[in-house]
């Protein structure tokens, strides 16, 4: 497996794209390989060498100049002997895909352009009629533009990869901070309380025979402290169960994506400052609505529109699915949602002309 990873397989971070190009190379050259009713071993050997240089060139290494130039030399020969000018695009996209600094990118691109333009120009002069004016324009555009198009696409992939990695790191940091907060709450609140209970229990044991009345009082204090601790634990658990709108949106985006429904969110950032009690209720409603969209809507897109004015917080949840011909009272768990909203002075309106729309309004506290 190590041999395959080091010498045959492409680096994993490039995904399946290099394999697509390699398969395309085989498909493009297959006709030339079997011309004249015999297998062209020279062409086959050159293509293998090209593929090896192409594969190794997907990593920046000290032999990269030789790998790039080697590809270009082989392609130049194959252009004149077999008219395989499309191989230049392979090298162009490889150059654009590598994480070069600008100076390095322009240096390799210049080498590529010198080889490709001179070679293609010479081939066009020899076979001008077969190219035609439009063929010449298309060939020139692809030859010159491919490295820059590939670099733009590669930069986009790298930005997306870095964003994904940073999001994972932030999730880890948030979880760690939450663990530390819980640990501090338990230590500061329950730790001292349990120490007090231990001391009172030891004191009650000593007083049992000497002063029964005082011992009973200590036991009563232990019971009261235990009840307070139980209430505190319940409060901590309740706080842990509370969920922000941002957390709910992340979870439901993952759930919607599993069934190929796209989540769209507009003006979500305004909800970050809403009271935690309101966020907790709306987070539960977001989950309920998303579940029903997945089960019943047959939608392609679910849209969440957030807003606020002087008097209300608003959330509109809509989908582009089949909707309902007649809205039932219990549609979309409306009873449960209405009950949740009543606890925070909110109301809901549901319609289903095109898809289904939930319009939620929560009155701000005076």
Q: What pLDDT score was predicted for residue 72?
A: 92
**The predicted structure's pLDDT at residue 36:** 65
User: Is residue 189 scored above 80 in pLDDT?
Assistant: no
Q: Is the pLDDT of residue 328 over 70?
A: no
Mean pLDDT, all residues of the chain: 81
| pLDDT top residue among 135 and 18 | 18
- Comparing 9 with 292, the larger pLDDT belongs to 292
Whether the Cβ atoms of residue 126 and residue 72 lie closer than 8 Å to each other: no
The band of 361, judged by pLDDT with boundaries at 50, 70 and 90, is very high
pLDDT tier at 135, thresholds 50, 70, 90:
low
Alpha helix positions (H), the chain: 2-7, 17-33, 41-56, 64-82, 87-97, 102-126, 128-185, 192-210, 212-241, 245-258, 276-292, 334-342
- Output phi, psi for 13, to 5 deg: -65, -15
Q: In sequence order, which residues have a C-beta less than 8 Å from that of residue 322 and are 6 or more positions away? A: 296, 297, 298, 299, 355
What six digits make up the tokens of 306?
A: 């957030």
Residue with the bigger pLDDT between 188 and 223: it is 223
Cα gap 303→267, rounded to integer Å: 11
Per mean pLDDT, which range of 104-118, 204-218, 278-292 is the poorest?
A: 204-218
What does the pLDDT look like over 145-173, one tens digit per residue?
Answer: 888 888 888 788 778 877 777 777 776 77
What's the pLDDT at 18? 75
Q: Rounded distance, CA 85 to CA 226, Å?
A: 82
Higher-confidence residue: 142 or 311? 311
Structure tokens at 317: 């949840």
42-46, 132-136, 258-262: which range is least confident on average? 132-136
Token pair 């004015």 is at which residue?
309
Residue 298 gets the label, from left (phi > 0), alpha (psi -120 to 50) or beta, of: left
State the pLDDT at residue 326: 55
Does the predicted TM-score (pTM) go above 0.85?
A: no
């Amino acid at each position: 497996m190590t041999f395959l990873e080091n010498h045959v397989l492409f680096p994993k971070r490039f995904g399946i794209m290099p394999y697509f190009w390699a398969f395309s190379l085989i498909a493009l050259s297959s006709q030339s390989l079997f011309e004249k009713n015999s297998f062209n071993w020279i062409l086959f050997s050159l293509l293998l060498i090209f593929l090896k240089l192409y594969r190794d060139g997907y990593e920046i290494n000290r032999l990269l100049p030789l790998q790039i130039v080697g590809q270009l030399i082989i392609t130049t020969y194959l252009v004149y002997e077999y008219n395989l000018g499309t191989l230049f695009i392979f090298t162009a996209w490889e150059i654009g895909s590598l994480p070069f600094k600008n100076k390095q990118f322009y240096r390799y691109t210049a080498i590529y352009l010198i080889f490709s333009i001179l070679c293609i120009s010479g081939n066009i002069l020899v076979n001008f009629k077969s190219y035609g004016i439009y063929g010449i324009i298309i060939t020139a555009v692809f030859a010159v533009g491919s490295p820059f198009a590939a670099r733009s696409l590669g930069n986009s992939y790298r930005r997306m990869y870095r964003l994904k990695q940073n999001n994972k790191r932030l999730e880890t940091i948030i979880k760690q901070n939450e663990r530390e907060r819980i640990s501090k709450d338990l230590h500061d609140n329950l730790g001292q309380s349990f120490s007090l209970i231990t001391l009172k229990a030891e004191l009650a044991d000593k007083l049992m025979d000497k002063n029964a009345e005082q011992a009973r009082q200590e036991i009563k204090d232990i019971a009261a402290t235990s009840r307070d601790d139980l209430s505190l634990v319940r409060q901590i658990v309740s706080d842990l169960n509370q969920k922000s709108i941002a957390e709910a949106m992340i979870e439901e985006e993952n759930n919607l994506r599993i069934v190929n429904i796209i989540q769209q969110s507009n003006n979500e950032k305004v909800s970050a400052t809403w009271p935690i009690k309101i966020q907790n209720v709306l987070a539960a409603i977001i989950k309920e609505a998303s579940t029903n969209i997945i089960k019943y809507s047959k939608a392609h897109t679910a849209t969440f529109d957030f807003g606020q004015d002087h008097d209300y917080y608003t959330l509109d949840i809509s989908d582009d699915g089949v909707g309902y011909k007649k809205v039932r009272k219990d549609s979309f768990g409306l009873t449960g949602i209405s009950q949740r909203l009543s606890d925070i002075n909110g109301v809901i309106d549901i319609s289903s002309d095109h898809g289904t729309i939930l319009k939620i309004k929560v009155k701000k506290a005076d």
